[in-house]
Each structure stands twice: as structure tokens, then as C-alpha cells.
């Protein structure tokens, strides 16, 4: 059995960034179920994501001394968000700047930055872990075979539906609150129109979160974060019907994607882990409760954990938990912001006031030929 100091489950932004930053003196294994070592051919499983790099994430990229390669960016680059309240028939544009990017290329770029001394197993499905006197035995499937490795510390970077977090809670009999979980459905359509903005769609009759449309290199994405109640597809269909009634036209359907999204409703739903199992990114509950932006939190938590580990394995969990208090505070403040966006009466007042908005009509403007 191979022995490691760290085994990281998940090679998204949090896992890849942690693997990049860990001291070369430590032996690290990075696992991911995606075949990230193979060239992307278009049919490979994609991450269900709008692919927008928000200002907070841009700041994290800059603070780590990195720059986004231009081949990751797609057209158009977006300078505004169009906020549409469907059930109250209101609209307002706001100036924002997002990097519009290819999410698959972004993830693979981060992986390309990982030093060669980090072992990696892609196409590997995490199964279980069990404790022993010296650490943990981690089990995973690789090419149909059950593999086992030993590690001092296990890192859960496996997203909203984190199996690592679920097993950790089971082992310690944890009853602390979890983030609220949503299902994200996203469809991608062909589009010939030029749409220079990202749209945030609100409708209290469909979801207590939000939906979105994003233009991307001749395609247009329509997605929604929906409550898990057994009627998700019916709700998504109603969203499309409402948009069609407003004058939106859908192009040819290219693909359908889905994923879970966490929404931390209290700071207590953020969990950094324990002495042997640590959590980062969305697995820890680090994602904006107001916008569902997660990349900046993935980079922040992985940087915090890397700094804590590089000071020494002993006591790293306590150092990480102490540093991550800043994440809890940030999530609490974002939660305070949510009512202005998600309470219909407050949202109506905000849109009609025009505060911080661009000069634009407050009624729906159909975009023919696109979502």
C-alpha cells in the first residue's frame, strides 16, 4: 500500500489549487473521477457551470501571481448583468465585469500548474475511508479495480455533493446544519444573435434562488438553481415557457447538464473538518449564498489550507479552522445581502429605484434569436 501525507479528493479549482501550493516535502495524491489526463474531445463529461469568473475570483487569481491565458476566454466579454424579475415584469441593467470563459479549459489550466511531484489518479471514484492508528486508509475505484492507499490527512474537495463530508459527518455523528442543496439544470442552445450581457432571472413562483442566461461563442446557456422536490424538470420547463411568452427564442438544443449547488443559509453550515479529514471549497460549504459564486471561495479556502499545512502537519487543522473564520464572516455578510435580491417586495423596490443601475428601461426587452 502506498503511503501519502495528503490525499485530495477532487481536482476542481479548490483541489487543484491546493495540490499546486503544497510543499514539495510532502507526498500528495490527487484523485478525480474525470479523465483529466486525456485531451478534451467535446464528449467528455463537463462541469455544469456558467463559466463566469467574478471580480472576487479575479482578485484571488491576481493575489496568487497568476494570469488567465487568453485561449480560456470566450466571446463576448461581459460588462453588465441584466436583472429580470419575471413574475413582477421588471428589469434593470447593472455594470459588472466578469471574465467569460470556457470552464473546462479553466479547470485543465489549473491542473497544468500542479508540480510533477504530485501523484494524480484521474478516472478514479472515491469510495470510502477508515481510520487507523497512523491516519486513514482511503479506498477508490480505478478502471473497475478497488485501490487502497494510506494517508495522514484526507482532503475533501469534491463539491456540493461531497462524499468525504458525508462520511466524516457519519463517523462523528454530526448533527450540525448543512447548506441547503439545490439541483442546477443547464441547457446550451445554438445562437446567432449578439447578446452583450449576462442575465440573472428571478421568479418566486419557480425558485427561491435564481436562474441565468449567458452568451458564449455562438451558444447561449440557460440554467436554473431549483429546489429538490421531485418536480425540477417541470419547473425548468415552466421557466422556458415564461421566457418564450416574453419574446425569447431558443436555438437548437446542443446539450443538457446538471449538478448540485450548495447554499449556506447560516455560518454554521460551513465546516472546515477535523484533525484527519479537512474540507475546502464547496465541500466545506464555501459558496456565496447570494450569487452561488464558488470559484473565489475554492481558491481562498485552498490557499488557507495550503498555508496551514506548509507550516507543519501538526496543528494544521486548528490553524486552518482559525483562518477560515474569515470565510464564515464573509458568508454571513453575503447572507444579509440576500433579502434585497430574493424577497420579491424588496427586489421590486431595488429595481424600480434604479440605485446603482444603468439607465435602461424597467420592462422586459425581448432578445430575438437567443435566450
Asked whether 121 and 30 are in contact (CB, 8 A), the reply is yes
Is pLDDT of 153 > 80?
A: yes
Average pLDDT over residues 207-231: 95
Structural domains of the chain sorted by starting position, each given as residue range(s) with its CATH number in brackets: 2-353 (3.50.50.60)
Query: Which of residues 47 and 217 earns the better pLDDT score?
Result: 217
Residue 289 to residue 110: CA distance in whole angstroms: 25
Give pLDDT tens digits for 285-302: 999 999 999 999 999 999
Confidence (pLDDT) at 368: 45
Total residue count of the chain as it appears in this document: 371
Confidence (pLDDT) at 267: 86
Is pLDDT of 363 > 60?
A: no
Confidence (pLDDT) at 371: 44
E strands, the chain, in order: 2-9, 28-32, 52-53, 78-85, 90-100, 119-122, 124-132, 135-142, 145-156, 180-190, 198-202, 211-216, 219-227, 253-263, 277-279
Confidence (pLDDT) at 370: 46
Q: Which residue's C-alpha cell is 502506498?
A: 2
Asked whether 148 and 129 are in contact (CB, 8 A), the reply is no
Residue 278 to residue 315: CA distance in whole angstroms: 12
Is pLDDT of 13 > 50?
A: yes
Give pLDDT tens digits for 80-98: 999 999 989 999 999 999 9
Instruction: List the single range of 20-34, 235-249, 341-355 with lowest mean pLDDT.
Output: 341-355
Is pLDDT of 365 > 50?
A: no
Is pLDDT of 263 > 90?
A: yes
CA distances from 6 to 9, 136, 357 (A): 10, 10, 47
Instruction: List the single range of 10-24, 124-138, 185-199 with lowest mean pLDDT.
Output: 185-199
Confidence (pLDDT) at 82: 92
Is pLDDT of 230 > 90?
A: yes
Angle between helices 316-323 and 325-342 (to 10 degrees): 30
Asked whether 154 and 136 are in contact (CB, 8 A), the reply is yes
pTM of the model: 0.93
Is pLDDT of 76 > 60?
A: yes
Q: How confident is the model at residue 192 (pLDDT cuts 50, 70, 90)?
A: confident
Query: Which of residues 7 and 174 earns the better pLDDT score?
Result: 7
- Nearest-5° Cα angle at 50, 30 to 362: 155
Confidence (pLDDT) at 358: 76
344 exposure class (CB count in 10 Å sphere: 0-12, 13-18, 19+): middle
Average pLDDT over residues 127-133: 93
Is pLDDT of 364 > 70?
A: no
Read off the DSSP letter of residue 312: -
Amino acid at each position: 500500500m502506498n503511503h501519502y501525507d495528503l490525499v485530495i479528493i477532487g481536482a476542481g479549482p479548490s483541489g487543484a489549487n491546493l495540490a499546486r501550493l503544497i510543499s514539495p516535502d510532502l507526498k500528495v495524491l490527487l484523485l478525480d473521477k474525470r479523465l483529466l489526463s486525456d485531451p478534451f474531445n467535446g464528449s467528455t463529461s463537463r462541469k455544469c457551470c456558467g463559466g463566469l469568473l467574478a471580480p472576487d475570483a479575479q482578485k484571488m487569481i491576481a493575489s496568487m501571481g497568476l494570469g488567465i491565458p487568453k485561449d480560456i476566454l470566450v466571446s463576448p466579454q461581459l460588462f453588465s448583468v441584466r436583472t429580470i424579475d419575471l413574475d413582477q415584469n421588471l428589469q434593470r441593467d447593472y455594470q459588472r465585469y466578469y471574465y467569460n470563459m470556457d470552464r473546462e479549459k479553466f479547470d485543465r489550466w489549473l491542473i497544468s500548474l500542479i508540480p510533477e511531484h504530485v501523484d494524480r489518479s484521474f478516472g478514479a471514484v472515491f469510495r470510502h475511508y477508515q481510520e487507523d492508528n497512523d491516519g486513514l486508509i482511503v479506498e477508490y475505484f480505478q478502471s473497475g479495480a478497488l485501490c487502497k492507499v494510506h494517508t495522514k490527512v484526507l482532503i475533501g474537495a469534491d463539491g456540493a455533493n461531497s462524499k468525504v463530508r458525508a462520511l466524516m459527518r457519519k463517523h462523528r455523528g454530526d448533527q450540525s446544519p448543512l447548506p441547503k442543496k439545490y439541483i442546477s439544470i443547464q441547457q446550451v442552445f445554438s445562437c446567432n444573435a449578439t447578446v452583450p450581457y449576462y442575465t440573472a432571472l428571478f421568479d418566486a413562483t419557480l425558485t427561491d434562488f435564481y436562474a441565468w442566461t449567458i452568451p458564449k461563442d455562438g451558444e447561449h446557456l440557460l440554467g436554473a438553481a431549483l429546489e429538490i422536490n421531485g418536480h425540477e424538470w417541470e419547473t425548468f420547463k415552466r421557466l422556458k415557457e415564461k421566457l418564450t411568452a416574453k419574446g425569447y427564442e431558443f436555438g437548437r438544443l446542443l446539450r443538457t447538464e446538471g449538478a448540485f449547488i450548495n447554499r449556506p443559509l447560516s455560518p454554521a453550515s460551513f465546516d472546515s473538518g477535523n484533525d484527519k479529514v479537512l474540507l475546502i471549497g464547496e465541500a466545506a460549504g464555501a459558496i456565496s449564498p447570494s450569487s452561488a459564486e464558488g470559484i473565489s471561495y475554492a481558491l481562498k479556502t485552498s490557499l488557507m489550507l495550503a498555508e496551514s499545512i506548509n507550516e507543519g502537519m501538526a496543528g494544521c487543522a486548528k490553524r486552518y479552522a482559525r483562518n477560515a473564520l474569515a470565510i464564515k464572516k464573509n458568508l454571513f455578510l453575503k447572507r444579509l445581502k440576500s433579502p434585497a435580491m430574493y424577497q420579491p417586495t424588496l427586489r421590486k423596490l431595488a429595481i424600480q429605484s434604479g440605485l446603482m443601475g444603468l439607465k435602461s428601461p424597467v420592462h422586459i426587452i425581448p432578445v430575438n434569436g437567443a435566450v
